[in-house]
Amino acid sequence: MATRLLRFPQGFLWGATTSAYQIEGAWNEDGKGLSIWDVFVHQPGHVERGETGDVAADHYHRWPEDLALMSALGLQAYCFSVAWTRIQPEGYGRVNPAGLDFYERLVDGLLERNIQPWLMLYHWDLPQSLQEHGGWASRDTALRFADYAQIVAHRLGDRVTYWVTHNEPAVVAYAGHFSGEHAPGIRNPFIALRVVHHLLLAHGYGLQALRAVLPNGARLGIILNLIPTYPASETPQDQQAAQRFDGFQNRLFLDALLRGHYPEDLSHQFVGLFPEPQAGDLEIISEPMDFLGINYYSRAVVRYAPQALPLQAEQVYPAGNEYSQMWEIYPQGLYDLLTRLYIEYRDTPFCPLDWYITENGVPVPDGVDFDGRVRDERRIRYIRRHLRALHQAIQEGVPLRGYFYWSLLDNFEWAYGYRMRFGLVYVDFETQERIPKDSARFYAEVIRKNAIEVVE
Ligand code: FCB
């Protein structure tokens, strides 16, 4: 057995990602308005143990300490989201300057430390008052989003180069409006698909609004959670079920954004359920971007299930494989996903030239050992194996320019509350003490060497 160093391309960008609601806390401070998550978590039954993001990792107050942690890691980029309700408490009209000030201090702090800020405009925390006007089921919300994007760009456009419109529109649409596990807790497939269309429209209008005020060098994109999908068997029924699942999870978004039309097989099969775009909508949605962000956690193995409407497809979990607290661990899926995207989408009319992994990570039950150390060997293994898959895809020509780990800190994992720990840094939610895990040291080494060591 020998160890070998797998080097990443020169200039490959190493980062970490967080999101506002999951780390900031300070849910009702300095003029912030209520978001749909603030409302959802305070209703019983939505989050395990009734936990909320009211305090979360208290990043709103502890950001200087968190910046120091990022510096110690050697992070080159940090992707964070802006809470719309800090900027516009009602989601339209009135601007709250204290909110802009907070993100300005954060951005300046990142720049002082030579960490590239990646500013994401929407990571699921819609202003509650927009929800009361229909939320993402209403087309008007897409226009409100563009106004908000422009307000942030006016203040920070001279300092932030990388701008992201949405994080994971599929989760917003399906978990928020079909399964109802996420805010606003709606369970209606017709609404969910209308929401898909309006989120994508918001992205397109958002890009137009940003381009109108940002300097020429600004780089704009969207982040999608893509799930490579495999049929549970070779039967035509399972294969078609996997195709439908892939359609709604992946192609719906990819085709609209990169080809400028919704997938034809789906629009024929799901007439009535499918959004009916107004003339010109798809041109707005496929407005050219500079980069595509891809979040990868796991794969889906899918079988035909006539009762599981509307797709008649359900996920199965193959025995004998490795699982985390939430998903199967399947690094090969990252390679399969990227090479498939490369083959099927790189020549589409609106495909950006630069791709990034903007989230990848694993929840395992971390604990603090007797000596105060967090020995998260499984996380290290997870990262190493996924980076290896990524490296292989890059060798084969996939235009991957960077990798962001999810997440910098342990945080509020939506409906699971604080049980799921994804961080490189452990957070004691009683005391707010931060402890870099062994994986933080491992990741710092990867960044320093721009390489991973593999044993062969
Ligand atoms: C992604 C979300 C992020 C976090 C991770 C585990 O889908 O973008 O907020 O919940 O999953």
List residues with catalytic annotation. Answer: 168, 359
- β 425-428/433-436 pair status: antiparallel
Ligand 1 atom nearest residue 171's Cα: 7
Ligand 1 atom nearest residue 223's Cα: 8
Q: CA gyration radius for the chain?
A: 21
Q: What is the DSSP string of 14-38?
A: EEEE--HHHH---TT-TT---BHHH
Q: Is 124 in the pocket of ligand 1 (CB under 6 A)?
A: no
Q: Which two tokens stand for residue 46?
A: 């939505």
pLDDT of residue 1: 82
**Per-residue CA distances from 244 to 25, 229, 298, 336 (Å):** 38, 10, 18, 18
- At residue 402 the predicted structure's pLDDT band, cuts being 50, 70 and 90, is very high
Rounded to the nearest angstrom, the distance between the alpha carbon of 36 and the centre of ligand 1 is: 17
Rounded to the nearest angstrom, the distance between the alpha carbon of 359 and the centre of ligand 1 is: 8
The per-residue pLDDT for range 152-172, each reduced to its tens digit, is 999 999 999 999 999 999 999
H or E element at residue 376: none
Closest CA to 82 of 264, 206, 198: 206
The mean per-residue pLDDT over the stretch 393-402 comes to: 98
Ligand 1 atom nearest residue 361's Cα: 6
| Segments of 305-430 assigned E as strands | 313-316, 354-359, 400-406, 425-428
The per-residue pLDDT for range 406-435, each reduced to its tens digit, is 999 999 999 999 999 999 999 999 999 999
H or E element at residue 113: none
The mean per-residue pLDDT over the stretch 259-269 comes to: 93
pLDDT of residue 394: 98
The per-residue pLDDT for range 206-240, each reduced to its tens digit, is 999 999 999 999 999 999 999 999 999 999 999 99
- Return d(Cα 281, Cα 78) in angstroms, integer: 32
DSSP 260: S
Q: Is 414 in the pocket of ligand 1 (CB under 6 A)?
A: yes
The per-residue pLDDT for range 344-359, each reduced to its tens digit, is 999 999 999 999 999 9
Residues 292, 356: contact at Cβ < 8 Å? yes
The torsion angles phi and psi of 286, rounded to 5 degrees, stand at -95, 20
pLDDT of residue 275 exceeding 80: no
For the chain, how far is it from start to end, CA to CA, in angstroms?
Answer: 5
* Test site for ligand 1: of 122, 168, 227, most ligand atoms within 8 A of the Cβ: 168
Rounded to the nearest angstrom, the distance between the alpha carbon of 20 and the centre of ligand 1 is: 12
**Per-residue CA distances from 193 to 123, 196, 204 (Å):** 19, 5, 17
Rounded to the nearest angstrom, the distance between the alpha carbon of 323 and the centre of ligand 1 is: 17
- Return d(Cα 311, Cα 248) in angstroms, integer: 9
Q: Which two tokens stand for residue 7?
A: 């080097």
* Test site for ligand 1: of 359, 382, 408, 416, most ligand atoms within 8 A of the Cβ: 359
Residues 410, 417: contact at Cβ < 8 Å? no
If 0-12 CB within 10 Å is exposed, 13-18 middle and 19+ buried, where does residue 27 land?
A: buried
- At residue 271 the predicted structure's pLDDT band, cuts being 50, 70 and 90, is confident
Rounded to the nearest angstrom, the distance between the alpha carbon of 163 and the centre of ligand 1 is: 18
Rounded to the nearest angstrom, the distance between the alpha carbon of 125 and the centre of ligand 1 is: 13
The mean per-residue pLDDT over the stretch 251-272 comes to: 94
- Return d(Cα 186, Cα 177) in angstroms, integer: 4
pLDDT of residue 84 exceeding 80: yes
**Residue 310, C-beta contacts closer than 8 angstroms, at least 6 positions apart:** 189, 270, 273
Q: Which two tokens stand for residue 108?
A: 């300046």
pLDDT of residue 272: 86
Nearest CA to ligand 1 atom 10: 413
- Return d(Cα 273, Cα 172) in angstroms, integer: 17
Give the residue carrying structure tokens 């009702």: 28
Residues 106, 20: contact at Cβ < 8 Å? no
- At residue 456 the predicted structure's pLDDT band, cuts being 50, 70 and 90, is confident
- At residue 274 the predicted structure's pLDDT band, cuts being 50, 70 and 90, is confident
- Return d(Cα 16, Cα 441) in angstroms, integer: 14
Closest CA to 358 of 384, 374, 334: 334
**Per-residue CA distances from 47 to 25, 37, 41, 297 (Å):** 16, 11, 6, 22
pLDDT of residue 90: 98
Q: Is 167 in the pocket of ligand 1 (CB under 6 A)?
A: yes
* pLDDT over 90 percentage in the chain: 97
pLDDT of residue 273: 85
pLDDT of residue 267: 87
Ligand 1 atom nearest residue 19's Cα: 9
* pLDDT over 70 percentage in the chain: 100
| Segments of 65-192 assigned E as strands | 77-81, 116-122, 162-167
Written as one letter, the residue type at 256 is: A
If 0-12 CB within 10 Å is exposed, 13-18 middle and 19+ buried, where does residue 320 land?
A: exposed
The mean per-residue pLDDT over the stretch 332-336 comes to: 98
Q: Which two tokens stand for residue 130?
A: 């927009």
